[in-house]
């Protein structure tokens, strides 16, 4: 009779020993596992296929915006409003800087009426919301001071009228009291009408100033012409009185002398007008 021999249970396989090395705590192990999950890409079924050109060049909507240009620096560092001496104004117009090298903008007011008189650089367009200023004509005096032409005209008229107690005043600059008259004839000096719209062209229109060696003539242009005509008339009569020995009669001599004198006067007047227009005089 056969005997049933109980099957011997299989012996358990030996457990593997972990490789030697540093051991990780449970918290560190969980941290690494979560990091790996975050880095793993999540596949999407609707992801379009990208070819090589798509990887090299971004689409029109994907291009990076152009770099913004840096904001422009402040153009001017100093604004001058109270200067009215032309040689100093001219330096700024020619150089664009003051004595310390700072860039300068001129916004000058008339010292008489306190309204805008001259701007440099000349604004090309008004600021939004503002109306452009219409600058009046200006004048530069022999002493170099600058005012509105209309203001100086009224000032000289007031000097001429004076007051009941002391009579008329000597025409002079409102700033420095430099006499503004022709000493031989006593008339007040002529004022030059100058447009302030092109400040860089003003200096070419001026005679030499007092501090630059300039001089005021003894007579105004009208009195100068009268003086010339008187001399010509006297000279013409002397010539015909002593030089016309062959004249047929005294009446004929007088008539010819008068014609000659009138011709000289017309010529001298024309030449004087041409000289007065062409010359740059006070």
pLDDT < 50 regions, the chain = 1-2, 10-13, 21, 24, 30, 32, 36, 44-45, 47-57, 70-76, 125, 131
From CA 272, how far away is CA 224, in angstroms rounded? 9
Please report the pLDDT score of residue 76 as a whole number.
Answer: 46
Q: Give the bridge partners for 120, in sequence order.
A: 106
Please report the pLDDT score of residue 211 as a whole number.
Answer: 94
Please report the pLDDT score of residue 90 as a whole number.
Answer: 94
From CA 259, how far away is CA 87, in angstroms rounded? 50
Please report the pLDDT score of residue 210 as a whole number.
Answer: 94
Are residues 207 and 191 in contact, defined by beta-carbon separation less than 8 angstroms? no
- What value does the mean pLDDT of the chain take? 73
Report the share of the chain in percent with pLDDT over 90.
Answer: 32
Are residues 152 and 145 in contact, defined by beta-carbon separation less than 8 angstroms? no
Token digits of residue 189: 């000096």
Token digits of residue 113: 């009426």
Are residues 261 and 232 in contact, defined by beta-carbon separation less than 8 angstroms? yes
Q: Give the bridge partners for 147, in sequence order.
A: 139
Please report the pLDDT score of residue 87 as a whole number.
Answer: 95
Please report the pLDDT score of residue 195 as a whole number.
Answer: 94
From CA 165, how far away is CA 121, in angstroms rounded? 47
Please report the pLDDT score of residue 233 as a whole number.
Answer: 77
Please report the pLDDT score of residue 73 as a whole number.
Answer: 45
């Amino acid at each position: 009779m056969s005997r049933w021999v109980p099957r011997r249970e299989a012996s358990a396989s030996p457990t593997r020993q972990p490789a030697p090395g540093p051991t990780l705590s449970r918290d560190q192990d969980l941290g690494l596992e979560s990091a790996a999950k975050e880095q793993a890409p999540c596949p999407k079924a609707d992801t379009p296929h990208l070819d090589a050109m798509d990887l090299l060049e971004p689409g029109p909507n994907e291009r990076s915006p152009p770099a913004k240009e840096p904001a422009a620096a402040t153009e001017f560092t100093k604004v001058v409003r109270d200067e009215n001496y032309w040689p100093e104004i001219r330096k700024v117009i020619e150089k664009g800087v003051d004595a310390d090298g700072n860039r300068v903008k001129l916004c000058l007011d008339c010292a008489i009426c306190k309204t805008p008189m001259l701007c440099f650089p000349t604004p090309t367009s008004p600021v939004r919301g503002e109306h452009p200023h219409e600058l009046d004509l200006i004048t530069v005096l022999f002493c170099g001071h600058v005012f509105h032409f209309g203001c100086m005209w009224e000032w000289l008229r007031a000097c001429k009228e004076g007051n009941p107690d002391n009579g008329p005043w000597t025409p002079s600059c409102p700033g420095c009291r430099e006499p503004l008259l022709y000493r031989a004839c006593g008339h007040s000096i002529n004022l030059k009408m100058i447009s302030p719209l092109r400040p860089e062209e003003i200096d070419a229109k001026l005679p030499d100033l007092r501090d630059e060696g300039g001089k005021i003539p003894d007579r105004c242009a009208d009195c100068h012409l009268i003086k010339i005509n008187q001399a010509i008339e006297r000279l013409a009569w002397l010539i015909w009185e002593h030089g016309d020995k062959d004249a047929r009669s005294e009446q004929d001599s007088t008539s010819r002398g008068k014609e000659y004198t009138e011709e000289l006067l017309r010529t001298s007047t024309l030449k004087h007008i041409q000289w007065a227009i062409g010359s740059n005089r006070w």
